[in-house]
Amino acid sequence: MTSDELAQLRGMLAAAPIDFSSNAQEVRAMFDGMIATFPVDESYNFTEKTIGGITGHWLDAPKKSANVMLYIHGGAMLVGTAFGYRGLSGNLAQASGVNMFSIDYRLAPESTFPAALDDSHAAFEGLLAEGYKAENIVVAGDSAGGGLVLSLLLKLKGAGKPQPAAAVVLSPWADLTHSGETMKTKKDVDNSLSQVGLQAGADQYLGGASATDPLASPLFGDYAGIAPLLIEVGSEEILLADSTRLAAKAGEAKVDVTLHVWPEMPHDWSLFSFMLSEGRDMIAEVGTWVSARLAK
């Protein structure tokens, strides 16, 4: 990293803040318009596909592979598309050497809890129906998508179904009660998120459901028997405590859990790998970690 890279990113985030407490349609237009400008590797050949009744974007592995990554994008449950996140999802899958299916799950406020989780589960079951075994699937997601990954693991456990081979969560939003101390201690350094904005997303997503339901706030779940877990988070995030508490809870439950807190990094910095070397470094780290946990 150079200080210039980080200063440029912080300036960009400060100049175009995303206010999730605004009208959802307006936020979507702004957010999706911004993320659509992010460069995507021209060698990636995405195709639209429907699996398990869920639409999304498919990307073949760089070499023939029996493994697949189910990717769940972020966006506070209100915004984001598989198309908009294809740079990040594609980079992670290619670094991991696997096929990838990035889904378009239903968004709030039009569709409330547990719609997004149900769609994620349907996509996972769809991959099984396509012939992929659970041990050949890695589930990954960022921010709200990271929370959905965790909720999916808990849902599979509750149903007595096999876990995927591994799970990767990037800057996960795992506590919709927002009880983590970094909501306060990091509020002046987080250029991306605010508690007010996240609360607006949580309220619209929950639709009256309890924020302490482990399938809505997976931090409160029982992690015994959960898939190996990689947690990537920046030191400058109001969601930092979601990750540190999650790692502690998973570790206490004897889960194979790896937590990497990256100094100075803002929320979801891997989205900006085209301009920030730490984003590229983190993507490479994910690829190495995933490859070590999937059958060759």
Ordered by start, the domain boundaries in the chain are 3-291
pTM: 0.97
Extract the tokens encoding 87.
Answer: 């740079």
Give me the tens of pLDDT residue by residue for the chain, a chain 296 residues long: 567 888 888 888 877 777 888 888 889 998 998 898 999 999 999 999 999 999 999 999 999 999 999 999 999 999 999 999 999 999 999 999 999 999 999 999 999 999 999 999 999 999 999 999 999 999 999 999 999 999 999 999 999 999 999 999 999 999 999 999 999 999 999 989 999 999 999 999 999 999 999 999 999 999 999 999 999 999 999 999 999 999 999 999 999 999 999 999 999 999 999 999 999 999 999 999 999 999 76
Are 140 and 90 in contact by the 8 Å Cβ rule? The answer is: no
Extract the tokens encoding 187.
Answer: 């509020």
**Encoded amino acid at 220, one letter:** F
CATH number for the region 3-291 comes to 3.40.50.1820
Catalytic residues: 143, 237, 267
